[in-house]
Amino acid sequence: MTQGQSRLELLRLFLSEKHDPDPFYAALAERSISGFQFPLQGARVLDLGCGGGYYGAALKRSGAEVVAADLAEADVRQASQRDLSALICDGTRLPFPSGSFDGVFCSNMLEHTPRPELIFDELERVLRPGGWAWVSWTNWYSPWGGHEIVPLHFLGPHNGLRAWRALFGEPRKNVPFVELWPTYVGRTIAHVRRRPGLEVLDVVPRYYPTQRWILRVPVLREVLTWNCLIMLRRTRAELSAPVTAKQN
- Helices of type H across the chain: 3-15, 21-33, 54-61, 73-81, 116-126, 157-168, 185-193, 220-224
Taking the whole predicted model, whether its pTM rises above 0.95 is answered as no
Q: What is the pLDDT of residue 244?
A: 47
Q: What is the pLDDT of residue 29?
A: 80
**114-163: pLDDT as tens digits:** 999 999 999 999 999 999 999 999 999 999 999 999 999 999 999 999 99
Write the DSSP assignment of 109-157 as a string of letters.
Answer: -GGGSS-HHHHHHHHHHHEEEEEEEEEEE--TTSTTTTGGGTTGGGG-H
Q: What is the pLDDT of residue 24?
A: 63
Q: What is the pLDDT of residue 28?
A: 75
Locate the domains of the chain by residue range: 3-129+139-234
Count the neighbouring beta carbons within 10 Å of the beta carbon of residue 135: 25
**24 near 17, Cβ under 8 Å?**
yes
d(CA 66, CA 91): 16
**191 near 248, Cβ under 8 Å?**
no
**159-184: pLDDT as tens digits:** 999 999 999 999 999 999 999 999 99
d(CA 179, CA 156): 16
**31 near 19, Cβ under 8 Å?**
no
3-state secondary structure of 174: coil
Q: With bands split at pLDDT 50, 70 and 90, how would you rate the model's confidence at 237?
A: low
Q: How far is CA 26 from the centre of its chain?
A: 16
Q: What is the pLDDT of residue 30?
A: 78
**25 near 47, Cβ under 8 Å?**
no
- Domain 3-129+139-234 grouped into CATH 3.40.50.150: yes
Q: Is the pLDDT of residue 217 over 90?
A: yes
**164 near 94, Cβ under 8 Å?**
no
Q: Is the pLDDT of residue 192 over 80?
A: yes
3-state secondary structure of 206: coil
Q: What is the pLDDT of residue 27?
A: 72
In the chain, % of residues over pLDDT 90: 80
